[in-house]
Structure formats: structure tokens, C-alpha cells
């Protein structure tokens, strides 16, 4: 399909049924076309299986809007993210309430973007964590490192195998090594699945940089890295599907990502489960800040 047909905002929603919208004008970054990009950003604004707080469908929009509040210069690395070659292709056009149909669309879109530019690093903004399954299936990492309050290892939840509470299990079943950090919520069934299937996880209470490095050091590469925004302590991310007290600090995740991006080959990155309806909400500001840190640290 012709990527530029809708790029200049002319033909949204025509007969060609675009997979994504190019609705990107709020992002505080000068953008480039996907062919020339080092990073390609795609929003996955799906919230059809949300169990508690709704609004993940607005996550990508809220994150982009929150970038307007940030300086593009990241002090820590002496990097200006406005200088990076970033393509933002907008949001996937989701199929409301249809998680499997939307996952298929997301997978097709990720494949298409890989064909256009296979050397750019894909970054996804969500949207429910259920969506992470699509890029992982397409990008075929050998390991999945995830920061999450929840194990997401249920076999099924509320009648769906692709519910947000099942995503880490589905990924493990692809033969991918799974390591989960910041956990403080799970079921007995999930703990048993983890034990029987070599899924490594670190409780938020036991989390330390050393514990992180110990675990990820031996993971096979390349790695897909996922941040469920609910890994952070609830006051930092109140607008998310299932907030949990007792989470990680912002710098815990930044330091872990610094280590990963410096030492390991990363095949994809996402920030998921940002929700809400209010511009400038705290969760979106946290996510936007983390996004700028990630972009800047990979460009050090």
C-alpha cells in the first residue's frame, strides 16, 4: 500500500481502509518518513479487554500530547531527541472489542513497516498490554524483558486467550525466554506456570539494579523490551488499567533500560497501558518522559 496516500492528511478513512492514521501532529518532534528513520513509532490504541480503569484507547494520543511539555534535550546523555530521525506513523486503526482481529492488523502493520525499513527500531505506544503480542510475534526476539506490576501469565481471562492478563504466557509459548520485573500481583496458577516454564520474575519488593542485571545477563538476544506503565508506583501512574501500590521508581526503570540498551541487542520497545481522558494526566507525562529517555539513551 502507498504509505503517503494519507501522510499529508488528505485521505483518511477512504475505501483503501488504511491500517494506520498518521494522526501525529501533536508530537513535539520534527518527524521524517519511515524509509529514512532510525525509529518508527506506532500507536496501538486498543482497550477492548480492560478489566478495571478504561481509557487505554487514548494512551498513544495522551503520550504524544504530553511530549509537548518536555524539553527535547535530555540532560543525562547530552542528546537532543529532536535531532534523531524518528518516524511516527500514527495509530493502528483498531477493531473495537475484537482483540484477535486487532492483533492480526497490528502484526500485518508491523510486518509492513519492517518491509519499508527493516533497520529502524520499532517503538509502540499503548494501549492495552494485550497488543504487545503482535510485535513480539513478528519481530521474533529470543527474550522478552518486561516491567510490569502483573505476571500476565493467565491461560485465559474473561473468556479470551488474548486478554491483557495472558500476554506474557502467550509470548512464552512462542518459545521466547521471559523475565518480568516489578511484580506485585498474580495468582497461584500464574506462579506455578512461571515455575514450570522457566519464567523468571522479580517481586517489586526485591527489585534492585543488581537483581535485574543478574537475571538479564544470560538472556539470549535479541530482546524485546516492554514497559507496562503500571510497573511504577501507583501515584506516578494513576491513569492505567489496573494500578497497583508498591511499584518501582522512575529511575529504577531508566537505569535498567540504560544497561539493556548499552549491552544487549534490542529488537523492539513498547510503553503500554497508559490510559485516561484528560490531557496532561500524570501517567501520560511519566510515559512521555520515559519515551524521551529511551530515545536519548539509545542515541548516546
List binding-site positions for Mn(2+): 129, 148, 150, 152, 228, 230
Closest-by-Cβ residue to Mn ion is: 150
289 is an interface residue for Mn ion by CB under 5 A: no
Q: Please, what is the minimum distance in Å from the beta carbon of residue 131 to Mn ion?
A: 13
Q: Please, what is the minimum distance in Å from the beta carbon of residue 148 to Mn ion?
A: 4
Site for Mn ion in 122-151 (CB under 5 A): 148-150
Q: Please, what is the minimum distance in Å from the beta carbon of residue 232 to Mn ion?
A: 11
DSSP collapsed to 3 states, the chain: CCHHHCCCCCCCCCCCCCCECCCCCCCCCCCCCHHHCCEEEEEECCCCCCCCCCCHHHHHHHHHHHHHHCCCEEHHHCEEHHHCCEEEEEEECCCCCCHHHHHHHHHHHHHHHHHHCCCCEEEEEECCHHHHHHHHHHHCCCEEEEECCECCCCCCECCECCCHHHHHHHHHHCCCEEEEEEECECCHHHHHHHHHCCCEEEEHHHCCHHHHHHHHCCCCCCEEEEEEHHHECHHHCCCECCCCCCCECHHHHHHHHHHHHHHCCEEEEEEECECCCCCCCHHHHHHHHHHHHHHHHHCC
Nearer to Mn ion, 163 or 281 (CB): 163
Site for Mn ion in 246-275 (CB under 5 A): none
228 is an interface residue for Mn ion by CB under 5 A: yes
Give the binding range for Mn ion (CB under 5 A) out of 13-21, 22-30, 227-235, 279-287. 227-235
Under rule CB under 5 A, how many of the chain's residues touch Mn ion? 5
Give the binding range for Mn ion (CB under 5 A) out of 82-90, 132-140, 192-200, 225-233. 225-233
Q: Please, what is the minimum distance in Å from the beta carbon of residue 18 to Mn ion?
A: 30
230 is an interface residue for Mn ion by CB under 5 A: yes
Answer yes or no: are the C-beta atoms of 136 and 268 closer than 8 Å: yes
Q: ∠ CA(241), CA(107), CA(199), 5° rounding?
A: 60
Q: Other C-beta atoms within 10 Å of 241: how many?
A: 27
Q: Please, what is the minimum distance in Å from the beta carbon of residue 239 to Mn ion?
A: 14
Nearer to Mn ion, 228 or 239 (CB): 228
Nearer to Mn ion, 53 or 140 (CB): 53
Q: Please give the annotated binding residues, written as ranges.
A: 129, 148, 150, 152, 228, 230
Q: Please, what is the minimum distance in Å from the beta carbon of residue 57 to Mn ion?
A: 17
Site for Mn ion in 148-187 (CB under 5 A): 148-150
Nearer to Mn ion, 150 or 264 (CB): 150
Nearer to Mn ion, 134 or 149 (CB): 149
23 is an interface residue for Mn ion by CB under 5 A: no
Residues at the interface with Mn ion (CB under 5 A): 148-150, 228, 230
Amino acid at each position: 500500500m502507498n504509505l503517503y496516500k494519507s501522510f499529508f492528511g488528505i485521505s483518511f478513512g477512504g475505501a483503501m481502509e488504511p491500517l494506520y492514521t498518521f494522526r501525529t501532529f501533536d508530537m513535539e518532534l520534527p518527524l521524517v518518513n519511515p524509509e529514512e528513520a532510525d525509529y518508527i513509532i506506532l500507536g496501538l490504541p486498543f482497550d477492548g479487554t480492560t478489566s478495571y480503569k478504561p481509557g487505554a484507547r487514548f494512551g498513544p494520543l495522551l503520550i504524544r500530547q504530553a511530549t509537548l511539555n518536555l524539553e527535547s534535550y535530555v540532560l543525562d546523555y547530552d542528546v537532543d531527541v529532536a535531532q534523531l530521525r524518528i518516524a511516527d506513523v500514527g495509530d493502528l486503526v483498531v477493531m473495537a472489542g475484537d482483540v484477535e482481529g486487532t492483533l492480526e492488523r497490528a502484526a500485518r502493520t508491523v510486518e509492513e513497516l519492517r518491509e519499508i525499513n527493516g533497520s529502524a527500531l520499532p517503538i509502540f505506544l499503548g494501549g492495552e498490554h494485550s497488543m504487545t503480542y503482535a510485535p513480539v510475534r513478528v519481530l521474533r526476539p529470543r527474550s522478552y524483558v518486561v516491567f510490569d506490576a502483573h505476571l500476565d501469565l493467565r491461560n485465559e481471562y474473561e473468556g479470551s486467550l488474548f486478554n491483557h492478563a495472558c500476554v506474557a504466557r502467550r509470548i512464552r509459548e512462542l518459545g521466547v525466554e521471559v523475565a518480568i520485573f516489578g511484580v506485585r500481583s498474580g495468582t497461584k496458577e500464574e506462579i506455578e506456570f512461571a515455575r514450570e516454564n522457566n519464567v523468571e520474575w522479580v517481586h517489586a519488593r526485591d527489585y534492585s539494579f543488581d537483581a535485574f542485571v543478574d537475571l538479564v545477563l544470560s538472556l539470549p538476544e535479541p530482546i524485546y523490551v516492554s514497559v507496562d506503565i503500571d510497573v511504577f508506583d501507583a501515584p506516578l501512574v494513576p491513569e492505567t488499567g489496573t494500578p497497583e501500590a508498591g511499584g518501582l521508581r522512575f529511575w529504577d526503570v531508566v537505569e535498567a533500560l540504560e544497561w539493556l540498551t548499552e549491552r544487549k541487542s534490542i529488537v523492539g520497545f513498547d510503553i503500554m497501558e497508559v490510559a485516561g481522558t484528560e490531557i496532561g494526566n500524570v501517567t501520560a507525562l511519566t510515559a512521555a518522559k520515559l519515551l524521551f529517555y529511551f530515545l536519548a539513551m539509545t542515541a548516546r
